[in-house]
Amino acid sequence: MIVTISTTTPKPGRGPRNRWPRAVTLLLALATALAFAVLPASADTVTATIPVGDLPRSVAIPPDGTRAYVTNQIGPSVSVIDTATNSVVATVPIGGSGPFEVAITPDGTRAYVTTVSTSPSNSVWVIDTTTNTVIDSIAVGVPQSDIAISPDGTRAYVTHSNGGVVLVIDTATNTVVGDPIPVGSVPRGVAITPNGARAYVANFNGASVSVIDTATNTVVTTIGVDNNPNTVAITADGTRAYVANQSGSVSVIDTATNAVIDTISVGAALFGVAVTPDGTRVYATRIFSSSVSVIDTATNTVIQTVGVGNTPIGLAITPDGTRVYVANQIQYTVSMITIEVAPTIAGTPPAGTVGLPYSFTFTTTGLPEPMVFTSDPLPAGLALAGDGTISGTPTESGSFPITVTATNAIAPDDTLNVVIEIAPQLCIGSICLPPGSLGS
C-alpha cells in the first residue's frame, strides 16, 4: 500500500481549505493509513493520490489506458494524467468556464468536453489527444451536462439539463445534426449500448430513464427508477444498465426488456457509476461520505466501501479492469483505486502417455494475476509453471492425485483437487506405438 501525504498552500480566490495545524493533519493521515492497513487482504485500496486542477469533476480514459482526462471546473482546464506514473503530464485550457463532463472517441484520438457556462456560445470543446490541444469548439446554444460517444465514433449524444433534451453531434463535421430529442425532466447522465442501438438517459427530476433509438433518434420507452437518477453505466456485453440514483440506490435495468430487475440500496448522495470491463463489479461514488461503494454484480450487493478524497464525483475504470480513477471535487485530487480480486482456479488435466509430450494449462482469474503451485509430486518428467501450465514428457505411468493452489496475496487462496492419469506406452520390442483413440 502507498500512502501519499501532501500539504498545499491555498491559492488566492479559492474556497476555504482545511486549516488544522500541520501536526494534526499528519496524525490524521497516519491514522487513516493504519485504518487501511488493517483492512482484509481482499479489499480494494487507494494506492495513489494525484493533485489536479480546481474542482475536478469528470474522468475519461482512452481505450489504450495510457491516459486519464479530468475536467477542472475552475481554471478552466482538463488535466491529463499519465497512468503509468500517475502524474499530470499536460493541462489543456478550455475556453469559457465550467468544463463539466468528458468523453473520448473509440479510437482514442479525440476528447469531447461539455461546459455549463453561458459563454462563449455554450460550446462543446474538442481536444486532440495526440497533441493535447483544443482543435475545435461546437456551438450548441445551451449549457450541457453529460456526453456519450457512439461505439462507431460517428455521433456524440449531449444532455441539456435545463432544456430537457438531448442533442446529437456529427463528429465528422463537429456540428449539431437533427432536432433536439425531448426526454424527461433535467436529463443528466447518458450512456450508449455497445452495439450503438440505444442511448440511456437519466432524468434527474423525473425519476426515470429515457431510452433513445439511435437509428431514429426518438425515445422508444421510459423506465421508472428511484428518485434523482444521476448517471448511467452499461456492461460491456450490453445486457445491463446500472443507474446511480442520488437518493441512495442503484437501479439495475435489463436492456432486453427495459425493465428494472433489481434495486441495490447503497447510501445517500450517489453520483458517478462505472462497470468493470468483465461486468463483475460496479463502482459508485458517494459525495458526502467521501467514499466509493463496490457492488458485486453476481449478487447485486455492496461488498466494500473504499474511502477516497473529499466529495468524489466522476470516476472511470481502466480498460484492463485493474484500476479506478476518482475525481475528488473539493480536494482537487484524483484517487486511484487498485482493484483486487481473490483468485480462482479451474480445469481438468487430460490423460497423458509415457514418452509423449504433455501440456495443459489451468484457467485462473483474479487481480493481481494469480500464481499457481502444488506441493504434491507430479509424474516424473512433468513440471508446473507459475501461470498454471503443466508441461513436459512423462517418464512414468500411473495415477497422480495433486492439489493445485492459486494465490495472489488476496484472500482467500483457491485450491483444486485433480488427478493426472499417465498411461504406459505400448511397445513391441524396440517399436513403441503412438496413442490411439476410440473409433480410429
7 and 54 together in one domain: no
Residue 29 CA: distances (Å) to CA of 136, 301, 390: 43, 30, 47
In this structure, the chain runs to a length of 440
- Would 440 be classed as within a structural domain? no
422 and 305 together in one domain: no
pTM: 0.81
User: Which residues neighbour 381 within 8 Å (Cβ) at sequence distance 6 or greater?
Assistant: 392, 393, 394, 395, 396
Residue 68's domain comprises 42-339
CB 112 within 8 A of CB 121: no
285 and 247 together in one domain: yes
The enclosing domain of 172 has a CATH number of 2.130.10.10
Q: How far apart are CA 345 and CA 357, in angstroms?
A: 23
- Would 406 be classed as within a structural domain? yes
178 and 308 together in one domain: yes
CB 218 within 8 A of CB 181: yes
What cell was used for 212? Answer: 433513445
Beta bridge mates, 253:
241, 260
324 and 394 together in one domain: no
CB 309 within 8 A of CB 328: yes
- The pLDDT of 412-425, averaged and rounded, is 94
149 and 279 together in one domain: yes
Q: What is the pLDDT of residue 117?
A: 66
CB neighbourhood size of 375 (10 A): 8
- Would 315 be classed as within a structural domain? yes
- The more confidently predicted of residues 187 and 435 is 187
Q: How far apart are CA 370 and CA 388, in angstroms?
A: 9
Residue 252 CA: distances (Å) to CA of 194, 239, 334: 17, 10, 27
Residue 310's pLDDT band, with cuts at 50, 70 and 90, is very high
- Would 329 be classed as within a structural domain? yes
pLDDT reading at 142 higher than 60:
yes
Residue type present at position 185: S
- Helix (H/G/I), strand (E/B), else coil: 29: helix
- Would 259 be classed as within a structural domain? yes
- Would 438 be classed as within a structural domain? no
- The pLDDT of 259-274, averaged and rounded, is 96
259 and 373 together in one domain: no
Q: How far apart are CA 286 and CA 264, in angstroms?
A: 14
- The pLDDT of 172-180, averaged and rounded, is 95
**Torsion-angle region of 261 (φ positive above 0: left; ψ -120 to 50: alpha; else: beta):** alpha
29 and 79 together in one domain: no
- The pLDDT of 338-359, averaged and rounded, is 94
pLDDT digits (tens, 9 = 90+) for 72-83: 999 899 999 999
pLDDT reading at 16 higher than 70:
no
Q: How far apart are CA 148 and CA 199, in angstroms?
A: 9
pLDDT reading at 416 higher than 50:
yes
Which residue, chain included where needed, has cell 499536460? 90
The enclosing domain of 405 has a CATH number of 2.60.40.10
Radius of gyration of the chain from Cα atoms? 26
Q: What is the pLDDT of residue 414?
A: 96
Q: How far apart are CA 285 and CA 129, in angstroms?
A: 27
133 and 105 together in one domain: yes
Structural domain tally of the chain? 3
Beta strand 341-346 with 363-367 is antiparallel
- Helix (H/G/I), strand (E/B), else coil: 228: coil
398 and 335 together in one domain: no
* CA 307 to chain CA mean position, Å: 17
pLDDT digits (tens, 9 = 90+) for 224-241: 999 999 999 999 999 999
pLDDT reading at 332 higher than 90:
yes
pLDDT reading at 434 higher than 90:
no
264 and 294 together in one domain: yes
pLDDT reading at 166 higher than 70:
yes
- Helix (H/G/I), strand (E/B), else coil: 26: helix
When mean pLDDT is compared across 48-52, 120-124, 130-134, 421-425, the lowest value belongs to 120-124
- Would 183 be classed as within a structural domain? yes
- The pLDDT of 355-365, averaged and rounded, is 95
Beta strand 414-423 with 352-353 is parallel
- Would 439 be classed as within a structural domain? no
Beta strand 249-254 with 259-265 is antiparallel
Residue 43's pLDDT band, with cuts at 50, 70 and 90, is low
24 and 167 together in one domain: no
Q: What is the pLDDT of residue 336?
A: 98
Residue by residue, DSSP assigns 301-338 as EEEEEEE-SSSEEEEEE-TTSSEEEEEETTTTEEEEEE
Q: What is the pLDDT of residue 35?
A: 36
Beta bridge mates, 360:
390
CB 390 within 8 A of CB 381: no
When mean pLDDT is compared across 113-127, 190-204, 226-240, the lowest value belongs to 113-127
Mean pLDDT computed over every residue of the chain: 88
